[in-house]
Amino acid sequence: MTQAAGTTSQLTDKLGVEIDPELLSLALTHRSYAYENGHLPHNERLEFLGDSVLGQAVTVLLFTRHPELDEGALAKRRASVVSTVALAEVARGIGLGDHLRLGRGEDQTGGRDKDSILADTMEAVIGATYLSAGQDAAADLVRRLVEPLLADPDRYGAAVDPKTSLQELAARLGMTPPVYTVHATGPDHDRLFTATVTVGESSATGTGTSKKHSEMAAALQLWHTLSERR
């Protein structure tokens, strides 16, 4: 896939907010692309900002929507909603991977679908929204992005803790517990892990920058497949 396939106008249509084109381009620029093109600016500062905006917006959303939850339960749900797996699922839902600016090596090793890259870029886009349109617009974007996870408890649970959700689903279906195998490729400083999870005769694969993330990605994929059988 070519760099930043598709147009950013298609992305902003899905986001439902106007973002300064230069800031959006920066938000989509991974450090691998920046280093390969003369050490251009990349999205990590915007990611830092977006992480803070995301956390505050989710905190307010959960606090106002769930008066029945105590501090501990609210904190647990917030951590889940802003987790790498949950943000990566949100990013896939808007096709964010198609618009990433990645270095050749990262692109060739599946970077457009890596949970960590998708989640970090999602935070950078939120940061760019904050700078372009203000706090209220950024908070509204966060609400619209995470509401599908909160509105569907099963999907929400699977996104934030896919391994446990898959194990519980397999038990409900009377199937054997999940079995994972993982292998790694690439140099030590840039490893890509690929996990395969099997339940009965069904299996799925997932990739990530750590063994844990690859297993979570595989578990989420298989959970979606098996949940259709219920």
Known binding residue 190? Answer is no
103: DSSP letter: -
Distance CA 193, CA 2 (A): 23
Helix, strand, coil abundance in the chain, percent, nearest 5: 65, 10, 25
Return the H-helix or E-strand segment holding 180.
strand 179-185
Catalytic residues: 51, 123
Q: Beta 179-185 vs 192-199: how paired, if at all?
A: antiparallel
Phi and psi torsions of 16, nearest 5°: 75, 30
Distance CA 157, CA 149 (A): 8
Strand ordering across the sheet containing 192-199: 179-185, 192-199, 202-208
Instruction: Kindly tell me the burial class for residue 39, based on how many C-beta atoms sit within 10 Å of its own C-beta (0-12, 13-18, 19 or more).
Output: exposed
Known binding residue 68? Answer is no
Known binding residue 70? Answer is no
Instruction: Kindly tell me the burial class for residue 148, based on how many C-beta atoms sit within 10 Å of its own C-beta (0-12, 13-18, 19 or more).
Output: middle
Binding-site entries: 47, 120, 123
Binding-site entries for Mg(2+): 47, 120, 123
